[in-house]
Amino acid sequence: MALIERHEWYDIARDTNWTPAYASESEIFPDLMTGAMGVPMEQWEHYDEPYKTSYPEYVKNQREKDSGAYSVKAALERSRILESSDPGWLGILKSHYGAIALGEYAAMSAEARMARFGRAPGMRNMATFGMMDENRHAQLQLYFPHSYCAKDRQFDWAHKAYHTNEWGAIAARHAFDDLFLSRSATDIAVMLTFAFETGFTNMQFLGLAADAAEAGDYTFSSLISSIQTDESRHAQIGGPALQILIANGRKEQAQKLVDIAIARAWRLFCLLTGTAMDYATPLQHRKQSFKEFMREWIVGQFERTLLDLGLDLPWFWDQMINEFDYQHHAYQMGIWYWRPTVWWNVAAGVTPDCRDWLEEKYPGWNDTFGKAWDVIIDNLLAGRTELTLPETLPIVCNMSQIPICAIPGERWNVKDYPLEYRGRTYHFNSEIDRWVFQQDPLRYRDHLTLVDRFLAGHIQPPNLMGALQYMNLAPGETGDDAHQYAWVASYRDKRYQKRAA
Ligand code: MN
Ligand code: MN
């Protein structure tokens, strides 16, 4: 018997809205969970997902993708990637797994909320596949690093990070809880799939797969490509939801959700991807600077997507673009200096050759960040490593949960953006972070940053040792300089040459 073509049955098969007889619609689809913003069901039925697939097609495809990724892993089991990779690359792997693996699990819950409470049948259908996608991503990214744990326990943080109070894990959880877990189905469609995934992760995964291949890590490259193809499908849940909101006069609310999600995604990407691209990636493997990457993908591509939908650019767009020049450089100094507080070994990425590259990509780098690194390098050359290690905690932003930092040196622009709210002073990295808080103070006001917890006496003894224990970083897990300071030698040689000449 011949099968009917998919397009002939798809619309009718997926149209699962009906008029309930035994319960009211508001009981089945409470506003709190749907976030429909008062747009009636008939309007949501105009939702038209651009990517259409059936369950048998989905399963067949995913099975092939899974067996592809797992067989590449098995085939390269003996490639000794751990032993032969640049330590900077291993740092990227570990930071990625710890920050992302269980984030995928959170994304699965978010997709599940859309699968149940999405107001449009097409949205529920796509989200059902999205939910299975995210489950697969969590499994893959827990399984792959697991085989490295016996050799290097920092890889255990793929699983462990989310269950700790390590500061980066707090930052990731705070953002993911906000955007994925504690929102309605419509909010999730806009914030997770449109802003976070279309805007940021899709690009991140494309770039990361290419970087992995370039670094010779084909296992990771195939893993990331396998995930990315899912992301580019389910990221399309948000666009048609936005079209419906805008067509029904809800542009203002939709815009606000988009702006908040972009603001939050930007901080995390800046921390993870910015430092990975411009410092941890070995110099010979760098294709683009983080700034060039952001300009191409976020300004070049995503900006168009926003405008085409009829949205405006976020009010902070120019300020964010301005931050492409410095914010991740500041974060890099932070993660290297506070290296005992992360679960991977941090590549400094500031050899003389790296600095020439940084100066070319970011004119003025040497007069600002370079000067601060000079102090660190002088101390390392003089054998005063202890002066390059932290004794205190930095001031942490009450929104991003990342230390407040910006440009050091002659163009100093580090500033706290405080806010008094009901007798408590909150501190923010920028107007953008503060604005997010002001959109919904009730949502954020009770959270304590790591430093708030320190001041409240939750961290005992109140010193770095106590903080490491609080963050659950065991000996053998705490970060150190990825190259065991070998890069400092190039400065010793350089200075020796200068003196000799
Ligand atoms: Mn995913
Ligand atoms: Mn996803």
Ligand nearest to the CA of 193: 2
Report how far ligand 2's centroid is from the alpha carbon of 96 (Å): 15
Report how far ligand 2's centroid is from the alpha carbon of 313 (Å): 23
Ligand nearest to the CA of 197: 2
* Annotated domain spans of the chain: 41-500
Report how far ligand 1's centroid is from the alpha carbon of 276 (Å): 19
Cα separations in angstroms, 432 against 183, 260, 263, 266, 321: 20, 9, 7, 11, 12
Q: Which residues sit with Cβ closer than 5 angstroms to ligand 2, an ion? A: 107, 231
CA count, 13 A, side-chain hemisphere, 198: 26
Out of 227-231, 310-314, 327-331, 352-356, least confident range: 227-231
How large is the average pLDDT for residues 207-229?
Answer: 88
Report how far ligand 1's centroid is from the alpha carbon of 34 (Å): 22
Residues facing residue 424 across a β-bridge: 421
How large is the average pLDDT for residues 107-131?
Answer: 96
Ligand nearest to the CA of 233: 2
402 by DSSP, 3-state: which?
coil
Q: What pLDDT score does 183 carry?
A: 97
State yes or no: pLDDT of 139 exceeds 80.
yes
Residue with tokens 């995964």: 205
State yes or no: pLDDT of 496 exceeds 70.
no
Report how far ligand 1's centroid is from the alpha carbon of 136 (Å): 8
Q: What pLDDT score does 38 carry?
A: 94
State yes or no: pLDDT of 8 exceeds 60.
yes
21 by DSSP, 3-state: which?
coil
Fold of 41-500: Ribonucleotide Reductase, subunit A (1.10.620)
Nearest to 357 by CA among 287, 271, 270: 287
Out of 174-178, 283-287, 305-309, least confident range: 283-287
Give per-residue pLDDT as tens, 343-399: 999 999 999 999 999 999 999 999 999 999 999 999 999 999 999 999 888 999 999
How large is the average pLDDT for residues 94-114?
Answer: 96
Could you tell me the pTM of the whole model? 0.95
15 by DSSP, 3-state: which?
coil
What is the percent of the chain where pLDDT is above 90? Answer: 81
Q: Please provide residue 475's backbone torsions phi and psi, each rounded to the nearest 5 degrees.
A: -55, 140
Give per-residue pLDDT as tens, 270-280: 999 999 999 99
Q: What pLDDT score does 500 carry?
A: 58
State yes or no: pLDDT of 245 exceeds 70.
yes
- What tokens were used for 312? 């405006």
Give the distance, in angstroms, between the CA of residue 50 and the centroid of all CA atoms in the same chain.
25
- What tokens were used for 477? 């897990």
Ligand nearest to the CA of 137: 1
Give per-residue pLDDT as tens, 402-445: 999 999 988 999 999 999 999 999 999 999 999 999 999 999 99
Report how far ligand 2's centroid is from the alpha carbon of 376 (Å): 39
* Pair 178, 93: CB distance under 8 Å: no
Cα separations in angstroms, 328 against 176, 229, 296, 477: 20, 27, 17, 24
Report how far ligand 2's centroid is from the alpha carbon of 400 (Å): 21
Report how far ligand 1's centroid is from the alpha carbon of 184 (Å): 19
Report how far ligand 2's centroid is from the alpha carbon of 342 (Å): 25
Q: What pLDDT score does 499 carry?
A: 60
